[in-house]
Amino acid sequence: MTKITGNCDLLINNVHLATMDPDVDSHYGEILNAAVVIHEGIIQWLGSSDQLPDNLQPEKTINGQGQWLTPGLIDCHTHLVYAGDRSREFEQRLEGVSYSEIARQGGGIMSTVNATRQCSLDQLIEQSRPRLEALISEGVTTVEIKSGYGLNLETELKILKAARELEQQYPVRIEKTFLGAHTLPPEYSGKADEYIQTVCEEMLPVVAEEKLASSVDVFCENIAFNLQQTEQVFQKAKNLGLRVKLHAEQLSDSQGTQLATRYKALSVDHLEYLGDEGVNALENSTTVATLLPGAFYFLRETRLPPIDKLRASGIPMALATDLNPGTSPLASLRLMMNMGCTLFGLTPSEALAGVTRNAARAVGLQDKMGIIRAGYQADLALWPVQNPASLAATLNGEKPSLTVFEGRVLQSMTRSMNR
Ligand SMILES: [Zn+2]
């Protein structure tokens, strides 16, 4: 434990900690009847309340009244910046209209691309706001946002700029990912290799130059881009000093996971069709397996990701919303924790690790956040629950009674959403 004396900005006392620190030997890394001391945005000390130094002089003290304190939640895979609405399509599908007919009428992903291309930066920010606010209201302090509904340079940049603008307006950290290789735009129909060339030579250098993203993602799938095209994007990203991640094995085993681990990907995401070779590749890598139960649920898929094998191999599993208009319009990380347990068979502590410790790893921030530990960022959420398993087990409207972002306290309900 770090030694502390004297002044500090914030003391949170009389709480139970779910530190999620693997060095604390229990499911949730629990410390009961505990306190956390925060100074200059960093966790300075934590431990049993009765070991608090006598001479501590906090600027502000919060009595946690026996509630549970967790790390701030991290949604490590979203597409939350987009324009338009696809609920009419949802309705049509349930009325029996086929996917291909909907696509022929201009529906599907292209309707989102068209709406996103047509709106201004300000309109895009306005439309994305409620989704980000919904996540923040659930104790989310870090969100990954991907581009990918522009599919041309101008609109891809607009999406990433909207994400950057949102980060300036809200108490949340936004990790931006360039997903130009999301799907083939109609202008390049039948010319996927040419589009990948455009992504690599015209889009990626600008994204890197303007520092609009720290990672690059590709949708590697039989309906999107193949292994060779994926590798071209990864190679270019690597040359530009950007990290990579991958939408992999969602609808088939394309072996994208093996490729991604060779490029030291932060994460591979979806994984319903992940085979044994993919599991082996992950076991010998630092890449996180990110599970997206919202898309599995919304598409009414039946093939489950190989959770038992991932668990047995000790591969870190993250959970995320995949928040997007077509296949996971579900802005609730708590719902994903619940679905991770009910649909995929995670335990509640695995679900919480999936949105804290392992999600931090999936965005490359595992040395700064995702656990409650001295020296880490003071991003925290205080929950009015009697047991941390509640966070995955129940959806009874429990919101954090307060969230701490970079050491600053944001009160629930009445708190200002602005920084
Ligand atoms: Zn996705």
Does residue 415 surpass a pLDDT of 60? no
Q: Where are the beta strands (DSSP E) in 224-367?
A: 243-248, 267-270, 288-291, 317-319
* Tens-place pLDDT, residues 89-106: 999 989 999 877 887 887
pLDDT, mean over the chain: 95
Instruction: Determine the pLDDT at residue 416.
Output: 41
Query: What residue segments make up the domains of the chain, in order of their start?
Result: 7-72+370-411, 73-362
Does residue 179 surpass a pLDDT of 70? yes
The span from the first CA to the last CA of the chain, in angstroms, equals: 31
Instruction: Determine the pLDDT at residue 106.
Output: 79
Q: Average pLDDT, stretch 179-193?
A: 96
* Tens-place pLDDT, residues 55-88: 899 999 999 999 999 999 999 999 999 999 999 9
Q: Please name the residues in contact with 225: beta carbons below 8 A apart, sequence gap of 6 or more.
A: 181, 184, 192, 196, 218, 219, 233
C-alpha 283 – ligand 1 centre gap (Å) = 23
Tokens linked to 369: 């956040």
| Phi and psi torsions of 92, nearest 5° | -60, -40
pLDDT band, very low/low/confident/very high, at 108 (cuts 50, 70, 90): confident
- In CATH, the architecture of 7-72+370-411 is Roll (2.30)
CA separation for the pair 257, 280 (Å, rounded): 10
The number of residues making up the chain comes to: 419
Does residue 1 surpass a pLDDT of 90? no
C-alpha 224 – ligand 1 centre gap (Å) = 12
C-alpha 177 – ligand 1 centre gap (Å) = 11
C-alpha 322 – ligand 1 centre gap (Å) = 5
Tokens linked to 43: 């966790």
CA separation for the pair 159, 194 (Å, rounded): 22
| Phi and psi torsions of 83, nearest 5° | -115, 165
At position 97, the amino acid (one-letter code) is V
C-alpha 96 – ligand 1 centre gap (Å) = 25
Instruction: Give CA separation, 17 vs 64, 216, 259, in Å.
Output: 11, 35, 39
Q: Where are the beta strands (DSSP E) in 19-139?
A: 30-39, 42-48, 57-63, 68-71, 73-75
Tokens linked to 197: 């060339």
CA separation for the pair 61, 55 (Å, rounded): 14
Better pLDDT: 417 or 228 = 228
199 C-beta neighbours (distance < 10 Å), count: 27
C-alpha 89 – ligand 1 centre gap (Å) = 19
With beta carbons less than 8 A apart as the criterion, state whether 50 and 35 touch.
no
With beta carbons less than 8 A apart as the criterion, state whether 192 and 184 touch.
yes
Instruction: Determine the pLDDT at residue 64.
Output: 97
C-alpha 250 – ligand 1 centre gap (Å) = 10
Q: Average pLDDT, stretch 165-171?
A: 97
Does residue 39 surpass a pLDDT of 90? yes
C-alpha 246 – ligand 1 centre gap (Å) = 9
| HEC string for 281-295 | HHHCCCCEEEECHHH
Q: Average pLDDT, stretch 200-211?
A: 98
Instruction: Determine the pLDDT at residue 419.
Output: 39
Q: Average pLDDT, stretch 165-190?
A: 97
Q: Which CATH class is domain 73-362?
A: alpha beta
CA separation for the pair 146, 162 (Å, rounded): 11
Instruction: Give CA separation, 123 vs 119, 159, 166, in Å.
Output: 6, 11, 12
Question: What is the Cα 110 distance to its own chain's centre?
Answer: 24
